[in-house]
Amino acid sequence: MTRRLVRLAALLGAVGLWQLLTAQHVRLWVRFDHLPTAVQVWHAFGLRLGTEEYWQDLTESLRRIGTGFLLAGLLGVAAGVLTARSRWAADLLGPVLEVVRPVPAIALVPVAIMLFPENEQGIVAITFAAAFFPVTVATRHAVRAVPPLWEEAVRTMGGGRGRVLWSVVLPAALPGVVGGLSVGLGVSWICVISAEMISGQFGVGYRTWQAYTVLDYPGVFVGIATIGLLGWLTSGAVELLGRRLTGWLPPRPGGAG
């Protein structure tokens, strides 16, 4: 409870500082007099909550992130396990993955526009690409970090490759996989919002950019706040799932989290 109160106080303090700087039109290294106040944003947020347009945008962004991230999670874990456990997969897939991985997913927007007949498919593909590589890399490293002694123990008791994979490798690699999923989700949000701004027709990113083009600055910050809340809630869901899947691990010292 104490930690929750401290976190809430920190958040309220940041909002209060924002209100003070913008209301007083402070000009330092940045121009706070150009920004809307926290009260103005809160008022605009309340108005947007009552519109059907807001919830449609929310639904579209969540559907895109959900589809792309789910595909990236499934295929990324499979690719990570394959490249870590199979020399053939490492030789065939590894070079391709390493060449494509440094390319920012948002840089693939022109390619997605050319490849897919609809913008919707392109945005999902960009979201998938954003999450796929962090998940793949994290899974690969986590699988390679499994102590060989654990595998040998199962083999001496008659376990085959499948038994070793499902009973030893995957459970031991789960913490690393969950970490990759968490990172991949954050990158996915960055890219899906950027893609919506560039080529979307609906979605939180599209609406935020549209508000900027008509000089609706409180509306811009409503979009930013919505993106932050969505990212926080979805990230929390992934972490909760990770704790459920890795409940057999000993608790961390001090319960940090």
Domains of the chain: 45-249 (1.10.3720.10)
pLDDT of residue 80: 92
Distance of CA 50 to the CA centre of its chain: 27
List CB contacts of 146: < 8 A, sequence separation 6 or more: 168, 169, 172, 173
The pLDDT assigned to 249 comes to 63
CA 137 to CA 79: how far, in whole Å? 9
pLDDT of 153? 73
Q: Specify the residue for token string 């926080």.
A: 232
Two tokens at 215?
A: 């000089």
Say which residues have a Cβ less than 8 Å from residue 247's Cβ, sequence separation at least 6.
none
pLDDT score for 251: 60
Show pLDDT as tens, one digit a residue, over the chain (257 residues). Answer: 788 899 889 989 999 998 998 888 888 788 888 889 999 999 999 999 989 999 999 999 999 999 999 999 999 999 999 988 888 888 888 888 888 888 888 888 888 878 888 888 888 999 999 999 999 999 999 988 888 777 777 777 766 777 777 777 888 888 889 989 999 999 999 889 988 888 777 889 999 999 998 889 999 999 999 999 999 999 889 888 888 877 766 565 555 55
Burial of 66 (0-12, 13-18, 19+ CB in 10 A): middle
